[in-house]
Amino acid sequence: MKRLSLLLIVLTASAWSCTNPGSRSSSTGGDTTRTAAPSNTDAGLLLVANKLDNTLYFINAETLELVDSTTTGEDPHEAVVTPDGNWAYTANMNGNSLSVIDMATLEEVRRIDLAEFGKPHGLAVSGNGEKLYVTTEGSRVAVLEIEVSTDSILRVFETGQQGTHMVALSKDERTAYAPNLGSGNTTVIDLEAGEVVKTLATGDGTEGIDVHPNGGEVWITARSGSVAVVNTETNEIEATLPADGLPIRVKFTPDGKHALVSCLQGRKVIVFDVADRKAIKEIETGAGPVGVLVRPDGEVAFIANTEDDIISVLDLNTLEITGSIPAGNTPDGMAFR
């Protein structure tokens, strides 16, 4: 077990690129042979990417104890796990790479070099686990489609925008939505036609995104103080909801009744009633809340506080913070297996 010391840093919330200084080499290649996953992770694992430690933590989602950690490339911002639970990825923004983590051993086994595009950030994986989608914000601003079995880039969707930051797939996986942080809009990509079909004006500092469990809506946060509600049938904005405190991420509960919006400067999470499209509660978190993840059973949510180096634990039945988990230096993106 690799325990890491905790450091406290202060982030500049106005910097839309979210980048950190430094460099690290990347490599590719590796064996994809599978072995059985460790039995001590049966309760489920919370994965936490620590940006300034260049690490990924594995936390028991029931006991909230650190199980292990592994290295990543430099500056891991987001994390994702394939649906079969075999592989995890981190997008290493300053490292210009993706780390590939074997979930049977909880170890980084290789890196995918994305230096040609630069600054990978957002991640999404297809339901069958065959394709990985990655946003890049460097010399080529795009959404990449990568074949999981070969690490090969299959398609490149140039957005023509600034800071294509996150990516989410529609429930039927025919459409990809990519918020552009620097342009204040969201790119809509028709994955069947293989082309960008629309750009939606979703607000200055457009960043966080999630697709409703029923597939009918996409909610997109804008740092300027709003949440856009997009109808996935028409790909039009149906409503714009107010949210102060620099809203930066959004995540639906599995039952689709609530949406959790983390607010970086407000040190809070706003809970929205999805049907009424109204805020029903504001919950104080730690400093610099960014990443939000809901445990699959819908009982608990986790909020990554980038400036306090802790993960807040939110009871979704009482809508109260019940504890915190020590993280590494500047925790951000999270995933669950």
Band (pLDDT 50/70/90 cuts) for residue 33 is very low
Q: How many residues belong to the chain?
A: 337
Identify whether the C-beta of residue 56 lies closer than 8 Å to the C-beta of residue 50. yes
256: domain CATH number is 2.120.10.30
Listed residue (179, 253, 162) closest to 221, CA to CA: 179
Q: What is the pLDDT of residue 177?
A: 98
Band (pLDDT 50/70/90 cuts) for residue 229 is very high
Percent composition of the chain: helix, strand, coil (DSSP 3-state, to 5): 0, 50, 50
64: domain CATH number is 2.130.10.10
Whether 15 is covered by a domain: the verdict is no
Residue 145: is its pLDDT beyond 80? yes
Task: Please indicate whether residue 230 or residue 4 has the higher confidence score (pLDDT).
Answer: 230
Whether 187 is covered by a domain: the verdict is no
Q: Of 93, 128, 158, which one is at a domain's C-terminal end?
A: 158
Whether 13 is covered by a domain: the verdict is no
Q: Of 158, 191, 221, which one is at a domain's C-terminal end?
A: 158
Q: What is the pLDDT of residues 78-126, one digit of tens each?
A: 999 999 999 999 999 999 999 999 999 999 999 999 999 999 999 999 9
- SS3 call for 40: helix
Number of domains composing the chain: 2
Q: What is the pLDDT of residues 81-94, one digit of tens each?
A: 999 999 999 999 99
Whether 297 is covered by a domain: the verdict is yes
Residue 59: give the domain boundaries.
45-158
Residue 20: is its pLDDT beyond 90? no
Residue 157: is its pLDDT beyond 90? yes
Q: What is the pLDDT of residues 318-330, one digit of tens each?
A: 999 999 999 999 9
Residue 236: is its pLDDT beyond 90? yes
- SS3 call for 136: strand
